[in-house]
Structure 1
Amino acid sequence: MQASYTHCTVLLNEAVEALHIQPDGHYIDATFGRGGHARLILSRLSPLGRLTVFDKDPQAIEVAQALASADARVAVRHEGFKALAELPAASADGILMDLGVSSPQLDDPTRGFSFRHDGPLDMRMDPTRGMSVAEWLADANIAQMAEVIREYGEERFAPQIAKAIDRRRQERGPVRTTAELAEIVAGAVKTREPGKDPATRTFQALRIFINAELEELQQALSASLRVLRPGGWLVVISFHSLEDRITKQFMAQHAKAAYDRRAPFAAPRPTLLEQVRRVMPSEAEVAANPRARSAVMRVACRTSAPVEGRP
């Protein structure tokens, strides 16, 4: 029997309000998770409205399929949100992306996402596909490990951690569990911010890398410009600086006219996004759900005609 893990949806009301729900519209929850945002969106839709949900996680898909079996307005896709590019142009009135890892994934030791619970070192959003972190660490060289931990975890001790992992492999064999990796990192990281576990940045880096999260975010953001109808809303919730930086730069880039320097007298490319703004969790939400403290929500409205081209 599958264990039950609770999930408290971050910025629930703020995100759905930012979508400016039209009752007969089509909305996309690009990261279904356990369906907190999706259920609130459905409560705002008429019988003619539609909701398409995406997720890589098989456990999340089970929840989504149960919802779809009870509500014909819901369509489920067991895919990452880069598959937004497969949807028809100008077919959505709003897109929501709630990035990162969910509480059930963190709290389930068998998924290997957290250094707080010992379990297999996996970290795949979809454990039926691709390579686990343990498999990657078994073969990666010191330079590769250091680059991933530095670039995706913003970890200044990345070379020391990579060397410590390599020493462990030579002395005792591959790193196979979350507790083993956390112990190695703790021995290599000599100082850390008060209240922050030494393994935090390394676990973040390996999770982002093994799931190609930043690359997928970039692809999904680009696809959103084509899929959103004029006047449709894009809402993105990030939980660390790398995701938020990509989202912020993407929105800023498309919220201003672009000039072709090779053709200085040509008309500028029109702005594709407007009304860009940032929303943070309230003090009350952070007090009730500490995992909300790092959340940043960015919102933008699609302008002009949809981007042409094939999916």
Structure 2
Amino acid sequence: MDKVYHVPVLLKESVDGMAIASDSICVDVTFGGGGHSREILSRLGKKGHLYSFDQDEDAINNIQEDERFTFVRSNFRYLKSFMKYYGVEEVDAVLADLGVSSHHFDDEGRGFSFRFEESDLDMRMNQQGLKTAAKILNTYTEERLADVFYLYGELRQSRRIAAAIVQQRKNLPYKKVKDLLDTLAPFVKGEKEKKVLAQAFQALRIEVNEEMETLKEMLEQSLEVLKPGGRLSVITYHSLEDRLVKNFFKTGNFEGKVEKDFFGNFETPFRLINNKVIVPSREEEEANPRSRSAKLRIVEKK
């Protein structure tokens, strides 16, 4: 097993929040390096079972042989379908660690990081997928590119960046990370260079993997497959996904629209377990810098 594939964030807090019993049926929709899954299995008895999802072929190398464990090589947007396939009507707890694993950022061949200039502009979590970062840069209209960088990267200069990309690709199609870095160079000068680059790469990664759409689908399906009293434990890393999770947990919709019943009581499918968001300790942040932006929210289905 690859011990440095990924260091799980908020491990104890997120799994504690699932309120696991020995016979619980649990789902880890983001298997990755298997850290959270191993912790969940350590709390299950012989009658418990864990289903873990991951669409990335590399994650298969981290599978633990255990009769209480089923690995599902698929995107978590198909949560409900696979639970039905395995004959599971209801589950006791679902966990999602939405961050990109350190393995992906450190893999020079995947194009997730701006550190490796000769990497292909790929960024696919599922390497069987057809949409790559290079394809987006080479084929999207200027308006659509601007929307991607503005909505998913929150870049103020999104329109100027999109225009520069369209101009650049007329002469040289985008293939390598270096090609994109050359285009972004005029927009990332100064002390905020790394932050702007990170935002730009985040935007492309989200678009390549349809992360916002799949997150919405997973959350809605989690509500459907959870039994009353079941727990949903979610770790987010950037404001876009955290906003979706926060709104869904509080109101049952992604816009944050509060519905009230006849008596004026808030109508929501969940009960908040932690009213205040849980963040890593200073010790964890120092040991694992990637955890610094992590936020954990836990709810129970009514």
TM-score, normalised relative to structure 1: 0.87
Give how far 1:268 is off: 7.3
Q: Which residue is equivalent to 1:121?
A: 121
Q: Which residue is equivalent to 1:33?
A: 32
Q: Percent identity?
A: 40
**Equivalent in 164, 174, 199 of residue 197 of structure 2:** 199
Q: Which residue is equivalent to 1:252?
A: 250
Indicate the SS of the match to 2:259: coil
Q: Which residue is equivalent to 1:135?
A: 135
Instruction: Please give the residue correspondences for 1:1-40 in structure 2 after superposition, counting only pairs within 5 Å.
Output: 5-40=4-39
Give how far 1:186 is off: 2.3
The answer to whether the Cα contact below 8 Å between 2:155 and 2:196 also exists between their aligned partners in 1 is no
Paired residues in the alignment total: 292
Q: Which residue is equivalent to 1:163?
A: 163
Deviations 1:119-157 (A, max 9, x none): 010001011122111012111121111111111111111
The answer to whether the Cα contact below 8 Å between 1:251 and 1:276 also exists between their aligned partners in 2 is no
Indicate the SS of the match to 1:120: coil
Give how far 1:252 is off: 0.7
The answer to whether the Cα contact below 8 Å between 1:161 and 1:189 also exists between their aligned partners in 2 is no
Q: Which residue is equivalent to 1:309?
A: none
The answer to whether the Cα contact below 8 Å between 2:5 and 2:101 also exists between their aligned partners in 1 is no
The answer to whether the Cα contact below 8 Å between 1:149 and 1:205 also exists between their aligned partners in 2 is yes
Give how far 1:187 is off: 2.0
The answer to whether the Cα contact below 8 Å between 1:33 and 1:60 also exists between their aligned partners in 2 is yes
> Quick one: which amino acid aligns to residue 115 of structure 2?
R
> Quick one: which amino acid aligns to residue 106 of structure 1?
F
Give how far 1:81 is off: 0.9
Give how far 1:63 is off: 2.3
Deviations 1:19-62 (A, max 9, x none): 11111111000010110000011011111110000011111134
The answer to whether the Cα contact below 8 Å between 2:20 and 2:43 also exists between their aligned partners in 1 is yes
Q: Distance in 1 between matches of 2:228 and 2:267?
A: 13
Gapped regions of structure 1 (runs ≥ 5): 304-311
Deviates more, 1:246-255 or 1:289-298: 246-255
The answer to whether the Cα contact below 8 Å between 2:250 and 2:268 also exists between their aligned partners in 1 is no
**Equivalent in 218, 225, 237 of residue 235 of structure 2:** 237
Indicate the SS of the match to 2:152: helix
Q: Distance in 1 between matches of 2:196 and 2:190?
A: 8
Give how far 1:100 is off: 2.8
Indicate the SS of the match to 1:28: strand
270 and 147 in structure 1: CA distance in 2 versus 1, 3 angstrom threshold: closer
> Quick one: which amino acid aligns to residue 159 of structure 1?
R
Show structure 1 runs of 4+ deviating over 6 A: none
The answer to whether the Cα contact below 8 Å between 1:24 and 1:48 also exists between their aligned partners in 2 is yes
Give how far 1:269 is off: 8.5
The answer to whether the Cα contact below 8 Å between 1:134 and 1:176 also exists between their aligned partners in 2 is yes
Q: Distance in 2 between matches of 1:302 and 1:257?
A: 17
Q: Which residue is equivalent to 2:70?
A: 75
Pairwise CA RMSD: 2.4
TM-score, normalised relative to structure 2: 0.90
Q: Distance in 2 between matches of 1:248 and 1:291?
A: 21
Indicate the SS of the match to 1:85: helix
Indicate the SS of the match to 1:175: coil
Instruction: Please give the residue correspondences for 1:1-311 in structure 2 after superposition, counting only pairs within 5 Å.
Output: 5-64=4-63, 67=64, 70-86=65-81, 87-88=83-84, 91-118=90-117, 119-171=119-171, 173-190=172-189, 193=192, 196-254=194-252, 258-259=259-260, 271-277=268-274, 278-303=277-302
Give how far 1:84 is off: 1.4
Q: Distance in 2 between matches of 1:8 and 1:252?
A: 29
Q: Distance in 2 between matches of 1:100 and 1:148?
A: 19
Deviations 1:221-262 (A, max 9, x none): 1111111111111001001000000000000103998347xx
Deviates more, 1:55-64 or 1:19-28: 55-64
24 and 80 in structure 1: CA distance in 2 versus 1, 3 angstrom threshold: same
Gapped regions of structure 2 (runs ≥ 5): none
